[in-house]
Amino acid sequence: MAKVGRVRNRLSANLSRRTFVAAAGAAGVGVLGVGAVDAVPAGARPARGRGAFVHGVASGDPLADRVILWTRVTPEAAAAPGSGRGGPVNLRWEMSTAREFTSIAATGTVVTTAASDHTVKVDAAGLAPKTAYWYRFRVLDGAAAGQVSPVGRTKTAPAAGDDVRRVQFGVASCANWEAGYFGAYRELAQRDELDAVVHLGDYLYEYGPGEYGGKHGPVRTHQPARDIVSLADYRIRHAQYKTDPDLQAAHAAHPFICTWDDHESADNAWLRGAENHDPKTQGAWAARKAAAEQAYYEWMPVRPQVDGTGRHLYRRLRYGTLLELSMLDLRSYRDKQVPATSSKTDSASSSITGRKQMTWLTGGIESSPTTWQLIGNPVMISPILLPPLDPERSRILTELLGLPRNGVSLNADAWDGYTADRRTLLAAIAQRTGGNAVFLTGDIHMSWACEVPREPANYPGAGSLATEFVVTSVTSNNLDDMVSVPEQALGAPASAALMATNRHTRWVDTDAHGYAVLTVSPVAAQMDWYFVTDRSVRRSPFRHGQSWKVAAGSRRLTKVSRPA
């Protein structure tokens, strides 16, 4: 997400994503007149990373019979992340259904070297479905021989044919180290009931120290002390984030299902570049993107898919007969963003997914055997327009002024900038009889509950095709932070304006930070939002924000009074 107040390009002529809601609020009003982890419950309390395992442990991408296990070993003091130093290290990994490891369900050995920054990833197979496991690593040789990692807990998915009655996912996005403390991860770590945590991108940020802090400046400082560009830089930044005790606690308590957005590489990234990349001073974009991807695959508990064209991050996970979760990559294949006022946002030659990913996505939606189809969606798909236009009646504006056919978007970096792809996807959703498509979205640093309309200017008349739940940021700035005003001073009228001009937006909160929990059953999907009081305070309390649900088959959102 584009950043207001960057040291470079402070006065951009283009409307950035980080400024668009401020502009929307103003326009709409005009139109309308590192600490302890003892908070983790006793059953899941991990020890904080220590010794050779200072970056903790993690798991991810759970299937019915396997799960990714991850750690990073520091074999000697000189073998710091990104250093390229240190020899090979042999480790043993163990899994057990007992916290005390009184019996071993799966075990094996693995070697790691400086070539992978001494990160360790194991695709542990042969597991039982829908089962909680404890896991740990042990160093077998070298100066750190005998050291044992913190213990983590993970959980496999149900078998494909299981009649699953309830799945709960934690949902998070956009965690900027400099903007505050990661209390949302601490809260997620305490939730024993979760099956996994879905992370929708911007797991870390690429900026140098002081370039993008909190409401009143940086709360803590990024390392290395520069915009990250090289492989070593990205490794060091990943390592810094994984020293956070709350993030370590969340990883140790639950498997994560992650995708990336732009800041894992550079702001407003696309296929051949990024807004926050200068080839004259930072080298070729292809080299920087390759470095960012390598570090991500090393440091994150993900299982990329591999085919004849290489590996890719978009993938699909299944939870019995209840749901399939399709995780998207909306940065690696997208065409360059065009101005929000341009009719080129409607061009069929401009794609946010790339042809291959779109074919995979629509095919999966159309053939899904499950009750729910969840889409892990890094950027918003619901149209946010000023105002929504009826294409049949506004053709003259499109033809004479070159405006987009449905109105001017506030955020062309989202699906609003690639409307042909959105029409293709929604058409596939519309074709599936009895489908229940729910988009889980991050990126925008605000909370939204939206019905995805068939026609933006004819809502609710033409109906909706899907629903969208947008999680706010863990820490990254939103409306009140950008303009340095108290919460809701501008946010309340901005939210009212957005909902009045885009009636398919049922609720939006522009100011709070936190996380969400999605609960899916055969009859409904419900999102519960939780907000932190003060992200600049490490142990700041959380409160329940709002809850919205969609009943199976309805595609209409209903506000509910309490969490699921």
What's CA 455's distance to the chain center, in Å? 27
Backbone angles phi, psi at 251, to 5 degrees: -60, -40
CA separation (Å) from 271 to 23, 28, 304, 422? 28, 33, 18, 18
426: left (phi over 0), alpha (psi -120 to 50) or beta: alpha
Regarding whether 29 and 108 lie in a shared domain, the answer is: no
Q: What is the largest CA-CA distance in the chain?
A: 75
CA–CA separation, 158 vs 135, rounded Å?
Answer: 19
CA–CA separation, 182 vs 245, rounded Å?
Answer: 9
Regarding whether 61 and 9 lie in a shared domain, the answer is: no
Number of domains within the chain: 2
- pLDDT value for 395: 67
Regarding whether 17 and 145 lie in a shared domain, the answer is: no
CATH assignment of the domain containing 418: 3.60.21.70
Regarding whether 529 and 454 lie in a shared domain, the answer is: yes
Q: Which of 103, 133, 155 is the last residue of a domain?
A: 155
Is 1 part of any domain? yes
Regarding whether 337 and 474 lie in a shared domain, the answer is: yes
CATH assignment of the domain containing 123: 2.60.40.380
Is 162 part of any domain? no
Q: Which of 155, 173, 191 is the last residue of a domain?
A: 155
- pLDDT value for 11: 27
Expressed as residue numbers, the domain containing 509 is 1-33+314-535
CA–CA separation, 550 vs 523, rounded Å?
Answer: 9
Regarding whether 384 and 320 lie in a shared domain, the answer is: yes
Q: Considering the chain, what is the average pLDDT of its residues?
A: 90
CA separation (Å) from 514 to 62, 267, 484? 24, 22, 19
Q: Which of 118, 138, 155 is the last residue of a domain?
A: 155
Is 87 part of any domain? yes
300: left (phi over 0), alpha (psi -120 to 50) or beta: beta
Regarding whether 490 and 368 lie in a shared domain, the answer is: yes
Is 517 within 8 Å of 194 (Cβ atoms)?
A: yes
Regarding whether 104 and 22 lie in a shared domain, the answer is: no
CA separation (Å) from 286 to 94, 265, 278, 332? 38, 11, 12, 11
**Of 138, 7, 132, 164, whose CA–CA distance to 62 is shortest?**
132
**Of 132, 113, 130, whose CA–CA distance to 121 is shortest?**
113
Segment holding 250, helix H or strand E? helix 245-253
Is 76 part of any domain? yes
- pLDDT value for 410: 85
For 38, the token pair is 């003892």
For 242, the token pair is 């994984």
User: Over its length of 564 residues, how does the chain's per-residue pLDDT go in tens digits?
Assistant: 554 334 333 323 333 444 444 444 433 333 322 333 333 333 444 457 779 999 999 999 999 999 999 999 999 999 999 999 999 999 999 999 999 999 999 999 999 999 999 999 999 999 999 999 999 999 999 999 999 999 999 999 999 999 999 999 999 999 999 999 999 999 999 999 999 999 999 999 999 999 999 999 999 999 999 999 999 999 999 999 999 999 999 999 999 999 999 999 999 999 999 999 999 999 999 999 999 999 999 999 999 999 888 899 999 999 999 999 999 999 999 999 999 989 899 999 999 999 999 999 999 999 999 999 999 999 999 999 987 877 776 666 666 667 788 888 889 999 999 999 999 999 999 998 777 999 999 999 999 999 999 999 899 999 999 999 999 999 999 988 988 888 887 889 989 999 999 999 999 999 999 999 999 999 999 999 999 999 999 999 999 999 999 999 999 999 999 999
Is 238 part of any domain? no
354: left (phi over 0), alpha (psi -120 to 50) or beta: left
- pLDDT value for 31: 31
Regarding whether 17 and 110 lie in a shared domain, the answer is: no
CA–CA separation, 383 vs 310, rounded Å?
Answer: 33
Is 552 part of any domain? no
Regarding whether 139 and 6 lie in a shared domain, the answer is: no
